A and B are shown apart, each in its own frame.
Chain A
Amino acid sequence: MGNNVSVVCTNVTKNFGELGVLEDINLTVQPGEFAVFLGPSGCGKSTFLSLVAGFDFPSSGNIQVMDMDQAKPGKHVGFVFQEYALFPWKTVLGNVESGLLNLEKAERLDRAMFYLEKVGLEDFANEYPLRLSGGMKQRVGIARALAYDPDILLMDEPFGALDAQTRKYMQQELHRILEGFQKSVLFVTHSVLEAVYLADTVYVMSKRPARIVYREEIDLGEERHYTGDRFLQYREEILHYLNAQTGISE
């Protein structure tokens, strides 16, 4: 297989014993594509990302990642965990440096500080995660995942713990950070606004066992705003499909 796609899922199904979590997922993510996944709570979004990362295997079907026939963990993947997963025994800086052990000390420090500045936490470099708020921990997690320059970013509700202002700021920042890089992003969120703002492609998943019930390519042109006819149209449509899955009547 060539390098012309980042992630290819073919008939991916996942069960935990009796519990069916993913059912017949088929999708392709191109290099540089920003794919956003929405779906009811507990439907299997995190499970899906951990299969793409190679933490766990599909029960049937296959996931190709980059030039690998099967997904397996490695530095081609940056993972931002829903539960942060910062190392409590390392400082903020130490956490961001933990994926850069192959570099010289000075370069490692430079690179880590660069990404800490990007997420606005350079002043907290020497604090332990214990002292950070949920939103700050998430930003450290993002810096840690970006620092070693992975090809694919898997982000599990990375802005879930942020206040509305910081969240918007981080959405714009992420968009800006990724500009110019050919990174593919698989991004899970519960916010339709966030999805439309960030995505090239939006997927809506069904209740468990999750299937893809909706796929739409978002084309907002160069301008990204949170308003405008096109934007609101996308939002309405996605909301419609999502509500159908969560059982909310309109």
Chain B
Amino acid sequence: MSYSAFRIFKEAITGHKGWKPVWRKPEPQLNYDIIIVGGGGHGLATAHYLASKFDKKRIAVLEKGWIGGGNVGRNTTIIRSNYLLNDNEGFYEFSLKLWEGLEQDVNYNAMVSQRGVLNLYHSDPQRDAYVRRGNAMILNGADAKLLKADAVRSLYPFLNFDDARFPIMGGLLQPRGGTVRHDAVAWGYAHAADKRGVDIIENCEVTGFDIQNGCCVGVETSRGYIGASKIGVAVAGNSSRVMAMAGIRLPIESHVLQAFVSEGLKPLLDGVITYGAGHFYVSQSDKGGLVFGGDIDGYNTYAQRGNLPVVEDVCEGGMSLMPMIGKARILRMWGGNVDMSMDGSPIIDKTDIKGLYFNGGWCYGGFKATPASGYSFAHLLATDTPHDTAKAYRMDRFTRGLMIDEKGMGAQPNLH
């Protein structure tokens, strides 16, 4: 089934009886060429690019729950490429370019909205750091603009500009950044991959790896044994648990990140704003709710729910940046299980076990990476060489002293 304006028109006049499920529900086969473990954004994108760009066949995505139930359906939907380090910035800019063509590529409306991401600064040193970051972005082919307080004021007059402690002095704007409807990304990639014959198998938990003579040749699952010549793991917050089944310890801790949505309000915020003096960022969804969040809770957890100290911290950040938010009520809040790596950057690499590949360590920021992560992982699985933009995301970078630590925090996951 394909989607178009004509199709909507046709369905409208024929009683909407012709819509079909967006992807099939196939039974698992005994054997595949390539298995992807994890039906999140990254796993589904990998399957899509393997089939569409690398011409691979006989591919399955195994998902323990339903697709879109993990972080791809829990995040605050922000996309951007405003990193400082070259090893990251080229990759995230590649991702942003893929987002720009995503909906045509997968034939699905993912509501990609380049509404601009604005990082506010509140002191001279912070401005200097943002100038440097903006230059790094421009050098990598991304877009960046430094705004002074007046320009920010004309965009968002309701912010707390003249705060005595943290006045808003300006901001670094990436106009091409924005938001994307998160679960439509999972459905869109699933739709496109399924159309090319990828089997998306839900309620199929991988419970073990079949490793013979240092070679991974299949997986045990809750729906039986499935063989494969190559197996790629992309399970985000569950990375350590899954890779432990192959005897591999990772430079990763699982933490929880919380998100919040207010009651629906009239349109008031048409971009994404991040507060430079506290842990708070906000945008407004098309339904009118303010979508906001802050820092991770900061302790190991798999609970997919957080605790009250961070709720308080996020709300304080909101009140200090835009005091009028205090009048809105919080409608919903939830948590997602994020894979915090030791340097705050991801891993896309082979493992020491032949045929077993790993993709993870996305921390709290892997949604924006979905297209490039899928593309690079597909490149690695198909050609056994890393994609140009993902060359630095090696598993052994910690032994070689080649950490990619944007904030310079060291091996302390809750500080990244």
Q: Do A and B come from one complex?
A: no
